[in-house]
Amino acid sequence: MTDENTPGTPVTDGGLSAEAQDVIDEIDEKGVEFLRLQFTDILGTVKNVAVPATQAEKAFTDGIYFDGSSIEGFVRIQESDMRLKPDPETFAVLPWRDGTSARLICDVINTSTGEPFEGDPRRVLKNVLDRAEEMGYEVNVAPEPEFFLFEEDEEGRATTKTSDAGGYFDLAPKDLASDVRRDIIYGLEDMGFEIEASHHEVAQGQHEINFEYDDALTTADNVATFRTVVRAIAAQHDLHATFMPKPIPRINGSGMHTHISLFEGGENAFHDESDQFDLSDTAHSFLAGILDHAPAITAVTDPTVNSYKRLVPGYEAPVYVAWSDRNRSALIRKPAARVPAASRIEARFPDPSCNPYLAFAALISAGLDGIERDLDAPDPIRENIYEFDEQKRQEYGIDTLPANLGEAVDALEDNEVIADALGDHVYDKFVEAKSQEYDEFRVDVSQWELDRYLETY
């Protein structure tokens, strides 16, 4: 007997899959009292429905219904009924509230058709991964999300006053937030996250936690939960954690460098030791696809007005469409690999405000398009592109990323590959939301303008 929604999954006599029964057993063993059934809207904001743990079996067999019209980018009020279908493989006890709450990430089901909802960002990524599987590939991803820790004021509101004076790889006493980072890592590890490293970043109050490689869907699930966990544990230390790309002007912003590799038949499809850079033809074509679609991808991987305050020369964020095996000024870097299985590429332009499901879907889809079109990667740029003038960049054929969110949305509207990856529903809602955001920004008057012009003219 198999689960009707997951072909090949054995089901117990009670109608539960074996995986779901294992979760229910673990709920009893660990004394979990509440389940947080999580999903994201198209902007990447984590939503959750909390149910008593006694409703776990019902959640697995019948699902939990909710009003989809209240969720950004989902449906209109006349077609609002949606159903959450928990994925038992995502069960994890949350590292707070004395271990009495647990997470289950859900797929969203359209109740009118009984099919997966096309506006569910998790479904968007699954569709792209299905395409990769049809081409014979498994996709592994490892992100490096950065964030700032700020002090709170007397009323508990976030400030932009940093909690330490540390810099890149500093130790205590300058890195006063090392205890917070330690608690975050312990919490994540308790949830089953594989953490590779953590350290203080370049800017004061800025931190980075690196994920171990995992399949793209699991990694996207973990990034979504990661942001929630970081904020919650920071709040326990009376600090505010933010993944806003550029909260402080004229210092480095926060990125989410994303390492990607494809595996085929259990072997790394990106590795070729006969190549000068140890990259296979498949890897060259994949990175060429990302470079080719980079302007449109940026709308998804760097999706806020504030994202483009980070993507400026001089603050370690890449703005030039090129790749390198050495320097970090290029859009894509080929990191050193100790063993063949570690051969990968690093997309350096995404930031942590993105919806991880949509961001990974856009990057992977672009790379797969490069493979299908057998694109040739340009020569790597080993010089510091930040030091090039415009004439030299033109000589090298180096384009730049969009300068603002409006230009990025325009590039997305002109790109069928990334639009197809998002699907009609998500594409339409995403473009609508981001166009509105940019229009609101354009008509606003900033404090900088008032300070500059109010008494001058």
List pLDDT tens digits, range 74-95.
654 444 678 999 999 999 998 8
Is residue 284 part of the annotated active site? The answer reads: no
* Residue 344 labeled ligand binder: no
Residue 74 · residue 211 · CB < 8 Å:
no
pLDDT for res 72 = 64
* Residue 328 labeled ligand binder: yes
Catalytic residue, chosen from 278, 292, 346, 351, is: 346
* Residue 196 labeled ligand binder: yes
Residue 148 and residue 237 share a domain: yes
Q: Is residue 322 part of a domain?
A: yes
CA distances from 49 to 54, 56, 228, 379 (A): 14, 12, 14, 49
Q: Is residue 10 part of a domain?
A: no
Alpha-helical (H) ranges within 305-383 are 307-310, 356-372
Is residue 146 part of the annotated active site? The answer reads: yes
Residue 130 and residue 108 share a domain: no
Residue 279 and residue 389 share a domain: yes
* Residue 346 labeled ligand binder: yes
Residue 153 and residue 102 share a domain: no
For tokens 């991880």, name the residue.
356
Q: Select from 58, 88, 117 the last residue of a domain.
A: 117
User: Rounded to an integer, what distance in angstroms lies between the CA atom of residue 109 and that of residue 165?
Assistant: 47
Alpha-helical (H) ranges within 244-400 are 281-301, 307-310, 356-372, 390-396
Total domains in the chain come to 2
* Residue 212 labeled ligand binder: yes
pLDDT for res 10 = 45
* Residue 264 labeled ligand binder: no
Locate the DSSP E strands across 96-247: 101-110, 115-116, 138-152, 158-162, 195-200, 206-211, 214-215, 239-242
Residue 183 and residue 142 share a domain: yes
Closest-CA residue to 59 (of 102, 30, 10): 102
Q: Is residue 2 part of a domain?
A: no
Is residue 26 part of the annotated active site? The answer reads: no
Residue 172 and residue 109 share a domain: no
Catalytic residue, chosen from 131, 240, 348, 425, is: 348
Is residue 107 part of the annotated active site? The answer reads: no
Instruction: Tell me whether residue 19 is exposed, middle or buried, using C-beta atoms within 10 angstroms of its C-beta: 0 to 12, 13 to 18, 19 or more.
Output: middle
- Long-range contacts for 302-305 (Cβ within 8 Å, ≥24 apart)? 302/245, 302/349, 302/350, 302/351, 302/353, 302/354, 302/408, 303/43, 303/44, 303/353, 303/354, 303/355, 303/405, 303/434, 304/244, 304/245, 304/353, 304/405, 304/437, 305/404, 305/405, 305/437, 305/438, 305/441
pLDDT for res 164 = 62
Residue 161 and residue 106 share a domain: no
Is residue 201 part of the annotated active site? The answer reads: yes
CA distances from 121 to 67, 69, 161, 290, 355 (A): 17, 16, 34, 20, 8
* Residue 437 labeled ligand binder: no
φ, ψ dihedrals at 349, nearest 5°: -95, -20
User: Rounded to an integer, what distance in angstroms lies between the CA atom of residue 83 and that of residue 85?
Assistant: 6
**In 3-state terms, what secondary structure has residue 396?**
helix
* Residue 407 labeled ligand binder: no
* Residue 4 labeled ligand binder: no
CA distances from 129 to 54, 262, 357, 362, 411 (A): 34, 11, 11, 11, 24
Is residue 67 part of the annotated active site? The answer reads: yes
**In 3-state terms, what secondary structure has residue 105?**
strand
Is residue 134 part of the annotated active site? The answer reads: no
Q: Select from 95, 117, 139 the last residue of a domain.
A: 117
* Residue 449 labeled ligand binder: no
Residue 292 and residue 173 share a domain: yes
Q: What share of the chain is helix, strand, coil (3-state, %, to 5)?
A: 40, 25, 35
Q: Select from 97, 117, 137 the last residue of a domain.
A: 117
pLDDT for res 262 = 97
Residues of the chain with pLDDT under 50: 1-13, 76-79, 166-175
Q: State the DSSP string of 192-207.
A: T--EEEEEE-SSTTEE
Is residue 267 part of the annotated active site? The answer reads: no
Q: What is the CATH number of the domain that holds 90?
A: 3.10.20.70
Catalytic residue, chosen from 36, 103, 257, 425, is: 257
pLDDT for res 183 = 87
pLDDT for res 295 = 97
Residue 303 and residue 350 share a domain: yes
Catalytic residue, chosen from 87, 107, 120, 144, is: 144
> Residue 253, by phi and psi: left (phi above 0), alpha (psi -120 to 50) or beta?
beta
* Residue 184 labeled ligand binder: no
* Domain that includes residue 28, residue range: 18-117
* Residue 144 labeled ligand binder: yes
What is the amino acid identity at position 241? A
Sort strands 81-86 and 64-67 into parallel, antiparallel or unpaired: antiparallel
Catalytic residue, chosen from 41, 164, 170, 208, is: 208
Q: Is residue 7 part of a domain?
A: no
pLDDT for res 73 = 57
Strand partners, 211: 195
Q: Is residue 457 part of a domain?
A: no
* Cβ neighbours, 10 Å, residue 150: 21
Catalytic residue, chosen from 199, 231, 237, 328, is: 328
Strand partners, 93: 102
pLDDT for res 347 = 96
Q: What is the CATH number of the domain that holds 298?
A: 3.30.590.10
Residue 180 and residue 70 share a domain: no
User: Rounded to an integer, what distance in angstroms lies between the CA atom of residue 169 and that of residue 71?
Assistant: 40
* Residue 286 labeled ligand binder: no
Q: Is residue 5 part of a domain?
A: no
Is residue 387 part of the annotated active site? The answer reads: no
Q: Is the bond preceding residue 86 a cis peptide, omega within 30 degrees?
A: no
Q: Is residue 421 part of a domain?
A: yes
Residue 358 and residue 223 share a domain: yes
Residue 386 and residue 263 share a domain: yes
Q: Is residue 315 part of a domain?
A: yes
* Residue 237 labeled ligand binder: no
